[in-house]
Each structure stands twice: as C-alpha cells, then as structure tokens.
Amino acid sequence: MPVARRDFLNLAALGIALPAFAGRSWAESYPDRPVHIVTGYPAGASPDIIARLIADALSRRVGQQFIVDDRPGAGSNIGTEVVAHAAPDGYTLLMAVSTNAINATLYTRLNFDFTKDFAPVARIGATPFVIVSNPSFPPKTVPELIAYSKAHPGQVNFATQGVGTGPHAAAELFRMMTGADLVHVPYKGNFNADLLGGQIPLSFASIASEMEFVKDGRLRCIAVTTAMRSGALPDVPTVAEFVPGYEAAGWYGICAPTGTSKDVIAKLADAIITCTNEADVTSKLVAIGVVPKPMTTPQFGAFIADETEKWAKVVRFADMKVD
C-alpha cells in the first residue's frame, strides 16, 4: 500500500475543505456538548489510561465533558474505523497510537485509510519499548545479543504480545538494521510467566509491563528502544548507542476525521498541548512510563507521515502478516 505522506502534511496545514469564515463561527462555540475520544483498546490498556488523563484535563480546561469510548478489537482497527466514519465536527476524536501507523501497511483490507481519513490534531507523548531477558540468557549487551543470535541461528526466540504490535515492529526494525537472527513467538496473552521461568529467553515489550521485574532483578534490561535513555531506567543504554539511527517508540496523540474545521482543530490542539504541559498531567504521564512531548498539528502530521513510511518498510522486510 503506498503511503501518502503528502496527505498528512496537507491535512496538517489546511485542516478542512469548509469555508474559513464558517469554521471560525462554528469554533467560537465549540464544544457545546460532550466530546468522545475513541480508543481501539480495552479499559486499562495504556491508550485508555492516557486518554482518560487527557480527557479529565480537557474537561476541566474547556468546561465541557470529554468522554473516553473504548472500542477494542482487530488490532485497534474497530475503534479507528468508528472515528474514520464519524461526522467531522470535532465531537468524535481518535486516540491515535503508533500501532495505527503500523496497521496502515500490515492490514491490506481496511475500511479506512489512516493517511487520508484522519487529520492530525496534536501529539501527547511517547513511551520506550525495552529489550528484556531472563537473567540466565548469556548476552548482557546489544552487541552480545547480535553476535549470540548469529552464532545460534534459529535458536533465539523472543516474545511479544502479538503480530504487528509496537514491540514486534521494534524487534523487526532491530533485525532489519543489525542482521540479528531472532525468532518471533507471538503471545495472545501475557508472556511474563514464560519469560520469568526461562521458557523463552528474550522479549521486546513495553517499559511499563516489565519495570517491576527489571527493578527487582528478575529480568535483565538489555536496552531501551528510544533515541534517548529513559528517566525510569537511566543506567540502561539505548539500542542507538550501538546501532546508530535505531529508534522505536510507542506514541500517543489525538486525530480527528478528515474535514474537521481547521479552527476546531486549532482550538483542540492548543488545549491538548496546554493540558499535557500541566505539572499534574506531566507527573501522571511520567509515572506510567510516558515521556510528555507534545507536538503541534503540523509537527504531528509530519511525524505520522514519517512513522507510516518507516513502519511500511519494516512490515515488508519482515513479511509481517495477520490472521
């Protein structure tokens, strides 16, 4: 599937096809009823938690209720499709995540196009993935992991929570850039019991799900996948310290259906960025492993276009397929 980078850049710059004066008039009273933020994940998942933090802050700031609406299923595509087909009036928004950029290529039969059917509003922040291992696994560093995997072809398994997830894509990017010989073992549920028990030696995972095991020594953290070290694990190196240019992160932001007034988008973006920068919201995001790093509408649009192109290459390299 060709990735329409220009679509997102144009959406970020223009926002809508409505007359400008109509958008301004409408935006003056927006919102005058509750706004729904749809996630493609179940309650308690990271997108749901982050959406609720932002929704609470927006409700206080804007003076109108923002409601989180979880629509899980099909790798987050059910909730995403709901928003893609919603009225472009600013009252149905998407908690967009890195998986949306991966799914744009991973799924070949979607009833929406993420690069065409959504207008970027603002990014909230990002969270690193981690490469963790059972302490009995010999490699302790990224170079040792690469060398060990090549010396034991087809024998080094790594777990993730499923095909096409952010950690899986991060692992495939690692393989693509290093030539590491790693075998993916997707789990439908939590793999930590097997990882802790040594049945599987390695995992690419979210930092939040593995933090307690790393801190108490039951797992070893080999590296974090973001460009900068994590404040939560400051002594753990990044992959990029050994593999220049490597970067993978889970990210979160808000998108609206294409056609939403640019004035409504501007009003939302300003409120989201302001809320994200509030000390209380920032501390709560950091506590769950999210680095608050807001982006404006044009910045977020360019970022999504880059991410979609990047993960398209990885999906094709790894021949990633979903059932």
Greatest distance between any 2 Cα atoms in the chain: 66
Q: Which two tokens stand for residue 305?
A: 């276009």
Residue 76: count of CB within 10 angstroms of its CB? 25
pLDDT for 13: 52
pLDDT for 23: 45
How far apart, in whole angstroms, are the C-alpha atoms of residue 305 and residue 194? Answer: 37
The answer to whether residue 76 scores a pLDDT higher than 80 is yes
Query: Can you name the residues that pair with 92 across neighbouring β-strands?
Result: 36
Sorted by where each begins, the domain ranges of the chain are 5-127+250-318, 128-241
Instruction: Give residue-wise pLDDT tens across range 287-317.
Output: 888 899 999 999 999 999 999 999 999 999 9
Q: Which two tokens stand for residue 161?
A: 């929570």
- CATH code: domain 128-241 is 3.40.190.10
Instruction: Give residue-wise pLDDT tens across range 172-182.
Output: 999 999 999 99
Instruction: Give residue-wise pLDDT tens across range 101-126.
Output: 999 999 999 999 999 999 999 999 99
The answer to whether residue 208 scores a pLDDT higher than 90 is no
Instruction: Give residue-wise pLDDT tens across range 218-261.
Output: 999 999 999 999 888 999 999 999 999 999 999 999 999 999 99
- CATH code: domain 5-127+250-318 is 3.40.190.150
Say what the pTM is. Answer: 0.85
The helix or strand, by DSSP H or E, that contains position 128, with its residue range, turns out to be: strand 118-133
Q: Which two tokens stand for residue 284?
A: 């709560």
pLDDT for 44: 87
Q: What is the mean pLDDT of residues 69-82?
A: 95
Instruction: Give residue-wise pLDDT tens across range 13-44.
Output: 554 444 444 445 556 789 999 999 999 999 98
How far apart, in whole angstroms, are the C-alpha atoms of residue 121 and residue 118? Answer: 9
pLDDT for 287: 84
Residue 244: count of CB within 10 angstroms of its CB? 8
Min mean pLDDT across 21-30, 173-182, 183-192, 198-207 is at 21-30
The answer to whether residue 7 scores a pLDDT higher than 70 is no
Q: What is the mean pLDDT of residues 67-79?
A: 95
Same topology between domain 5-127+250-318 and domain 128-241: yes
pLDDT for 243: 98
Instruction: Give residue-wise pLDDT tens across range 55-69.
Output: 999 999 999 999 999
Peptide bond into 167 cis (omega under 30): no
Peptide bond into 292 cis (omega under 30): no
